[in-house]
Amino acid sequence: MSAQPVNPNLPPDHVTVFIDGVEMAAPKGSMIIQAADKAGIPIPRFCYHEKLPIAANCRMCLVDTEVGGRAAPKPSPACATPVMDGMKVFTRNEKALKAQRNVMEFLLINHPLDCPICDQGGECELQDQSLGYGRSVSRFVERKRVVPDEDLGPLVATEMTRCIQCTRCVRVTAEIAGTYELGGMYRGENLQIGTYDGKPLTTELSGNVIDVCPVGALTNKVFRFKARPWELTAKPSLGYHDALGSNLFHHVRRGELMRSVPRDNEAVNECWLSDRDRYAHQGLSASDRATVPLVRDGEGFREASWNEALAKAAQILKDNAGDALGVLVHPATSNEEGVQLARLAEGLGSGNIDHRIGQLDLSDGAHAEAFGMPVAEIEQADAIVIVGSNIRHEVPLLHQRVRKATKRGAKVHVVNPVDFDFTFAIAGKHIVPPSQLAAALAGVELGDAANVAVIVGGVAENGPYAAAIRKAAADFAASKNARLCRIPQGANALGLSRHGVLPAGRDAQAMLREPRKAYVLYGIEPGLDFADQQAALKALGGAQVVAFSQFACQSTRAVADVILPIGALPEVDATLTNLDGFDQEAVAAAKLPGQARPGWRVLRALAGALALPGFTFTDLAGLRAGLAPKAVAVAKGAAVTASGTGLEVAASAAIYRVDGMIRRCDALQAHPLNVGPFAALHPADAARLGLTEGAMAKCATAAGTATLPVRVDARVAQGSVWVESGHGATAPLVAAATLEVARA
C-alpha cells in the first residue's frame, strides 16, 4: 500500500517539504535549492544558476536531509537532490555547516590572495561566501597552483588561476549560446577551463560568462581596472541596437558610463545581454562625437552658439516648408523625439517624413507591427519558420529563444538566400535567391504543429522583394493558423510607427529619388545608414540639410549646413517600444558631452523659433503627457523594379556595423564576428566566373562598383552573391537587385 501524502490538500504535482522547520509545498522533481530560494532561505552555492543545467560541481550547497525519520548518511547537494514528500532539510545545523565550511576550505586552497587587485572585488560571490563560511587562517602550507591565462578575445579578460571550476561559463557557451567553446581540460587537481584550441570566443553572447563567473576568473576586458563597484551608480536603461529592447543597467561614475550589465526581465531578455548591447557604450567617447553646434562656413564648418545654430536651422526650414521639405529619422529615435518630429513636419506643412530609411521596397506601405507571438512564448512554439533573416546576428537573444524552443522539441524551418549559421537543428531548409523567397515559403510543410510562429527578418524586409515576401508570409501564417512576427527594422521602429513618423506624402526612398530642397536628418549617419547610399548622398548633397546628430562624422559634414549635437540613448531620458509592443523607459546615465543637449529639448527650441503649435510643454513630463498613438494613412511607395542581369544580391546586416554607435566601439570592431566586407558566392558560380577563395572581385551595379575579397561558400544560394551592409565598401551594392561580378 502506497504511503499517504503528508498534506493531502496539495495539488497532485506537489509535495510537502520542511526546510529548517518551515513547511512548504514544492513541485515534484524540483531540487531542494529551488524550494529554499522560493521560501527565501539562503543556501550557499557557486555552480548552481537558475538558468543553467545542474552540474553539482562545487558542493558548496551541501545540506543535511532526513526522509521518513531516517537521516541521510552524508550531506546532500541541495542543487541536485530532488524534494520528497515529508523530507526534512537542515541548512544550518552542525552537520550542514561543517560540510559547507570544509568545502570552502578546499576551494580556497589554491585560490590566489589577490583580492585587492581583482576586478571582481566588491561583487565576488567567493568573497561574500568566504566571509560567512571561511576560516580566518589557512591550514595549508603547500604552494598554490598556477594556471596559464587564455586569450578569449577583445571582450573577456581571464585570470584562470582564480577559477574554481564551477563550469558556469562552460554551460553558458554550451546551453545558452550553443557554441560549445569552453570546456574542462585535464583531470583532478590539473583540471582547468579553456577553449581547447586557444582561439577567441566567437559567440555573440560571450559577455554573459562574465556575469555568471562567481570569482574573478572572467572579467570585462573593456571595464578592467577602471573603477570599483562601490564607486558606481546603476541607471536602468535599454539596449537600442535591435528591436528586442534588452533591459540593462548602465554603471556610471561621476557622469562617465563605465560598463553595462543585464537587468532581469523574463518577458524580454531574461538575465542575458548580447555583446552588442553590453559594449556599445564605448562608442560614446568616439573622437568624432558632436559636442558643439556647427554651422557651415564656406567649404568647412565653424563652431556657433546654440542661438545662432537654431536661428540658421529655423531659417532653412522656413524657406523650404511644405512639400519642399523632407524629414528622415533614424529608427532608434525615441518616442518623445518621434512625436516632436511628426509635429514639426506637420507644422511646416510637410507630409514627407519617414523612419524606414534602410528599407528599399515600401510599395505596400508596410511598417513595423508588434509580434503576433510574444518573445517569451516563442520558446513554447511547436514549429518556427524563419524567413529572410540571419536571426543570430539580427536579434541575438531572439535567436536564443528559438534555440530554447528546439530543445523542447520545436521544428525550425528556414527560407533564406544563405544557409546562415544557427546554433540549433534545422528541420527543413529552402535556400534560394532573394527573388524566390516568397514562392519558396509556400513549400514549407509543418505537419501537425499547432503553435507556430513565422519570423520575418531584415534580409527580407530590407530587400527589393520585401512587399511580395511580406504578403507571402501573411498568407502563409493565415493558412497555417500561425502567428506572424515581423522583426521591426530598428530599435524603435514600432514606436515611431505608432507615433506618426510615417509619410502621408513621400516615403524615405521617394524623398531621395525625387530630391527635396531641404532635409532634416535625425540621428542618421548619411554615409552608411541609408538603404540606397548613392541616391541619399546625391539628394542630400544638392539640398540644405539640418542634421541633428550624435556624431560630426565625415559624411554628415559633407551634406549638412547645420549640425546640432544631441545625446545618445544612454545620455537621455527616453522611451522605446520593443517588438512585443511594450513601451520601456530608459533613464539618463552618462553626462552629455560638451554642449550637446537631449534631442527633445533641441526640437522644442527649434519649434519655438518657428512658432509652431504643439510645443507648449516645458519639461519631459509635459511632453510625455501628450504622447498618444497617432494613426497615419501611410502613402504607398513606388514599386521597386528589380531587373537586371548577373547575380542576385543577398544583403544582410553585419552584426557589429548596424549603427553609428556600434561602428565606433573598438572592442566590437576587433571581435572575430566582425569579418570586414566580402562577396560570398556559391562554388558553382565562383567556378563559372573564374574566381577563387581570397581573390579580388569587381562587383558592379548601376549605383557604382566595389572591389571585394571573394569567399567561396556552399551556403550561398546558387545565382546569388552575399554581402553585408554597414561597410563603406559594400554601400554601392546593398540597394541593387542584381550585380555583375568579374575578376578585379
Band of residue 157 on the pLDDT scale cut at 50, 70, 90: very high
% of the chain at pLDDT higher than 70: 99
Band of residue 2 on the pLDDT scale cut at 50, 70, 90: very low
Q: What 8-state DSSP symbol labels residue 668? A: H
Q: Which three cell numbers stand for residue 729?
A: 565598401
Is residue 338 within 8 A of residue 329, CB to CB? The reply is yes
* Mean pLDDT to the nearest integer, 433-444: 96
Per-residue model confidence (pLDDT) at position 3: 60
**pLDDT tens string 35-74:** 999 999 999 999 999 999 999 999 999 999 999 889 999 9
Label residue 13 exposed, middle or buried (CB < 10 Å: 0-12, 13-18, 19+): exposed
Spatial CA neighbour of 430 closest among 387, 476, 366, 470: 387
* Mean pLDDT to the nearest integer, 314-328: 97
In angstroms, the CA 241 to CA 280 distance is 9
Average pLDDT value over all residues in the chain: 95
Cβ neighbours of residue 364 closer than 8 Å, sequence gap 6 or more: 467, 470, 471, 636
DSSP 363-428: TT-------SS-HHHHTT-SEEEEES--HHHHSHHHHHHHHHHHHTT-EEEEEESB----SS--SE
**pLDDT tens string 114-126:** 999 999 999 999 9
What is the amino acid identity at position 679? A
Q: Is the pLDDT of residue 744 over 90?
A: no
Helix or strand run (H / E) with residue 302: strand 300-303
Q: Give the chain's end-to-end CA distance (angstroms, integer).
A: 84
In angstroms, the CA 306 to CA 602 distance is 9
* Mean pLDDT to the nearest integer, 699-728: 94
Q: E strands, 58-201, where?
A: 62-67, 70-71, 76-77, 87-90, 156-158, 183-185, 192-194
% of the chain at pLDDT higher than 90: 92
Spatial CA neighbour of 25 closest among 51, 43, 5: 5
Q: Is the pLDDT of residue 187 over 80?
A: yes
Q: CA gyration radius for the chain?
A: 28
**pLDDT tens string 384-413:** 999 999 999 999 999 999 999 999 999 999
In angstroms, the CA 487 to CA 387 distance is 10
Cβ neighbours of residue 463 closer than 8 Å, sequence gap 6 or more: 360, 361, 388, 434, 469, 649, 650, 651
In angstroms, the CA 503 to CA 637 distance is 10
Find residue 219's DSSP bridge partners: 157
What is the amino acid identity at position 613? P
* Mean pLDDT to the nearest integer, 298-307: 96
Q: Is the pLDDT of residue 1 over 60?
A: no
Helix axes 306-319, 599-610, angle to 10 degrees: 60
Q: Spell out the alpha helix ranges (H) of 320-374.
A: 335-347
**pLDDT tens string 229-264:** 999 999 999 999 999 999 999 999 999 999 999 999
What is the amino acid identity at position 8? P
Phi, psi at 651, each rounded to 5°? -110, 130
- From 291-295, 540-544, 702-706, the region with the lowest mean pLDDT: 702-706
All domains in the chain, ordered by first residue: 14-108 (3.10.20.740), 115-285 (3.30.70.20), 294-364+493-625 (3.40.50.740), 375-486 (3.40.228.10), 647-743 (2.40.40.20)
Q: Which three cell numbers stand for residue 29?
A: 522533481
pTM of the prediction?
0.95
Cβ neighbours of residue 428 closer than 8 Å, sequence gap 6 or more: 411, 413, 414, 444, 445
